[in-house]
Amino acid sequence: MRIDIITVLPEMLDGFVNTSILARAQRSGLAEIHVHNLRDYTTNKHRRVDDYPFGGFAGMVMQCQPIDACISALKAERDYDEVIFTSPDGEQFNQPMANGLSLAKNLIILCGHYKGIDYRIREHLITKEISIGDYVLTGGELAAAVIADAVVRLIPGVLSDEQSALSDSFQDNLLAAPVYTRPADYKGWKVPDILLSGHDAKIKEWELAQSLERTRRLRPDLLGE
């Protein structure tokens, strides 16, 4: 998979995409993540990529020209499954969406900034708008990082234990069951006996019961309650 991220602040992403799981995925050849500085594509001699909005509204707006130039240059080299815009009014990002995007071959993620982007870009070039929550960030870089991380870790071979991703919270619309490690008794805080029993079938039953209980208590909306 290849992910191209377009931003006015590449330094916000450089460290993130070259660390931990994303770095491992790239070293193993399972993913490529390229960060593009939008200012490299503007025709403005001062490298500006924004301007005042028509209508006298507050704030600044990212211009069409540099965004169009960057996306067009990338599309000239390969086809893309989605051109994503990170926006607070986009579709809410969730695990099923991450699962679907993990099957893509090439993705573009455009990070919004300032007051937003010229709406014509959203009308003509963007194929999917994604929000990571009902709040507003200074820019879309954090959202792009969240999307990239959630998607890349699902690519087969990225995680050393592929079952780990399959048992994550939300994969089956349930929160994950509690997990424990050694020692079995710490300060009198004990691991549930069932997990020490070695009885796989009963452990699976306990795991499902715990997932249901935690989901019902913490996120009843996932159960339609």
Q: In the predicted model, is pLDDT for residue 4 greater than 70?
A: yes
N-to-C CA span, the chain: 37
190 and 117, same structural domain?
Answer: no
Q: What is the pLDDT of residue 166?
A: 56
Query: What confidence tier does 171 reach under pLDDT thresholds 50, 70, 90?
Result: low
189 and 136, same structural domain?
Answer: no
What contacts 181, CB < 8 A, 6 or more positions away? none
Q: What CATH number should be reported for the domain holding residue 188?
A: 1.10.1270.20
61 within some domain: yes
SS3 5: strand
Q: What are phi and psi of 21, to 5 degrees?
A: -60, -40
The answer to whether the CB of 70 falls within 8 A of the CB of 41 is yes
141 and 172, same structural domain?
Answer: no
159 within some domain: no
Q: What CATH number should be reported for the domain holding residue 131?
A: 3.40.1280.10
Q: Tell me the sheet residues that pair with 51.
A: 61
Helix 141-152 with 20-27: angle, nearest 10 deg: 60
The answer to whether the CB of 177 falls within 8 A of the CB of 218 is no
The pLDDT of 131-143, averaged and rounded, is 94
Query: Tens digits of per-residue pLDDT, 189-216?
Result: 999 999 999 999 999 999 999 999 999 9
201 and 111, same structural domain?
Answer: no
Beta strands in the chain (DSSP E): 2-7, 32-37, 50-51, 61-62, 82-92, 106-111, 128-131, 185-186, 189-190
198 and 148, same structural domain?
Answer: no
SS3 113: strand
Q: In the predicted model, is pLDDT for residue 165 greater than 70?
A: no
Mean pLDDT, rounded, of the chain: 93
The answer to whether the CB of 121 falls within 8 A of the CB of 49 is no
What contacts 44, CB < 8 A, 6 or more positions away? none
Query: Tens digits of per-residue pLDDT, 32-88?
Result: 999 999 999 999 999 999 999 999 889 999 999 999 999 999 999 999 999 999 998
89 within some domain: yes
What contacts 162, CB < 8 A, 6 or more positions away? 156
Q: Which domain holds residue 81?
A: 2-152
Q: What is the pLDDT of residue 162?
A: 57
73 and 7, same structural domain?
Answer: yes
Q: What is the pLDDT of residue 155?
A: 94
Query: What confidence tier does 172 reach under pLDDT thresholds 50, 70, 90?
Result: confident
